[in-house]
A = this chain, B = another copy of it.
Amino acid sequence: MKIGLLIIGNEILEGKISDANTRQLSLFLKQHQLELLTSLTVTDQESTIHLGLKTLFSLCDVVVTSGGLGPTKDDLTKEAIASFLGRKISYSDSSYEVALKNYDRFKRPFAGKEHGYCYLPEGFIALENSTGFAPGLFTEHLGKYLICGPGVPKEFKSLLEDHFVDQVVSKFPPSSDLFESITIRTMKVPEEKIFGEVDTTLWDKLAAFGNVSSLPTTMGVDIGVKIKATDAVDLAEKKKKVLEIFDHSPIKPSIWQIGNLSLEEYIVNLANKKNITYGFAESCTGGLCSHRVTNVSGSSQTFLGSVVSYAESVKHKLLNVETATLKNHGVVSLQTAGEMSSGLSQQLKTQIAVSITGIAGPSGGTAEKPVGTACFGVTNNGKTHTYTAHFPGDREQLKLRFSQAALFYLLEELEKSS
């Protein structure tokens, strides 16, 4: 089953927002052992929507669209699809009922049968929207299928979850191919070094079991192997062999996870499992470390809190950093970093505390301590170690890299603690 996504929206091609629905559709399809062939973005105009539909119908069995179903005048998807397929739009009782349900769910009054949501191209089904107001659409076209969802990511996702299997997947015979993607996540070794120096035969060895991919990430590389198999036994055997390759590879010490958890999910799980409390003293990361771990449900079990100490006065007042330390060594120094993590640990009574103080730029750098310099303090059970590092990038990238380094330090402490 070849599936293509047509993203309809000026806001994406004008750079106002980034597309989130390609990723959502891909992840949804993966759960159903399906793949996304291609994703095409066009503007909210009849002519470009026609072009998009023509392109995707020539390549795919199933065309999914996102966007342009809303109530404003720049929402043209329904009209453009109808004219592309040569179908008339008219009032539909079933569409009225679907729209009414969507409004009732949010206890909002519905304008009634004149509302655009009640009008449907012939041969289409209106689909309930469990998270918004605009109904989705579904139809068959010359043995192929078209399913249309809203552009708002939350609504697009619920449309997939609520309707895609029933309306689309059920129309195709189940595939006999099985596949599973394994991700091996490494840290601190550049991509070129992994395959060019550390383990030059790794790629070819893995390629015997499926498609190999390499994705550089923040301070690490995710190596992916998409194993194809004929049945569950074959799959399990191939998976075992792939894992054995890594077990014997010189890259092994740099692997921090085999799996698809984010670094923060992995940390929260490990801290909760070992019941180790922790917190951050964040200067240049400005709360990003705390934000990342609290994105994970369950983090409150062991993450106690943080101090974002942007001003020197806050470092002194809340983290007990000595005024003399700030004066003699500077805000970005190993001494300050050490006192920050130690102070946080004492104030919050955490087993582990990690501090970050650095220069995210664009201003504030000096010859001695240029933009990208950061010092880290790691306090574990009262013992403190400090580190210094230097990273490239703009302010946003640096905040992310600093936070990634801090989370890697936290991970190392969690792994060696019991």
> Does the CB pair A71–B195 fall under 8 Å?
yes
Cα A395 to Cα B298 in complex, Å, equals 11
> Does the CB pair B314–A393 fall under 8 Å?
no
Q: Does A396 contact B (CB under 8 A)?
A: yes
With A74-B214, A154-B397 known as contacts, the answer to whether A287 contacts B306 (CB < 8 A) is yes
* Chain B residue with Cβ nearest A191: B72
> Does the CB pair B305–A307 fall under 8 Å?
yes
Return A213 CB to nearest CB of chain B, in Å.
5
Which of the listed residues A203, A211, A397 has the most CB atoms from chain B within 10 Å of its own CB? A211
With A22-B18, A23-B12, A288-B291 known as contacts, the answer to whether A192 contacts B71 (CB < 8 A) is yes
Contact for A361 among B213, B216, B297, B303, CB less than 8 A: B297
With A18-B22, A295-B396 known as contacts, the answer to whether A71 contacts B311 (CB < 8 A) is no
Q: Does A175 contact B (CB under 8 A)?
A: no
Which residues of A, 30-71, contact B by the 8 Å Cβ criterion? Answer: 30, 35-44, 48, 51-52, 55, 59, 70-71
Which residues of A, 192-207, contact B by the 8 Å Cβ criterion? Answer: 192, 195-196, 203, 207
- Copies, count: 2
A binding-site residues for B, Cβ under 8 Å: 10-20, 22-27, 30, 35-44, 48, 51-52, 55, 59, 70-74, 111, 131, 133, 152, 154, 181, 183, 191-192, 195-196, 203, 207, 211-216, 222, 224, 226, 279-280, 282, 284-291, 293-295, 297-300, 303-311, 313-314, 317-318, 347-349, 360-363, 392-397, 399
Which of the listed residues A48, A294, A317, A395 has the most CB atoms from chain B within 10 Å of its own CB? A294
> Does the CB pair A308–B295 fall under 8 Å?
no
Chain A residues touching B, majority SS: mixed
Q: Which residues of B contact A396 (CB under 8 A)?
A: 295
> Does the CB pair B17–A13 fall under 8 Å?
no
> Does the CB pair A38–B13 fall under 8 Å?
yes
Contact for A286 among B15, B192, B293, B348, CB less than 8 A: B293
Return A92 CB to nearest CB of chain B, in Å.
20
Cα A385 to Cα B26 in complex, Å, equals 45
Return A328 CB to nearest CB of chain B, in Å.
21
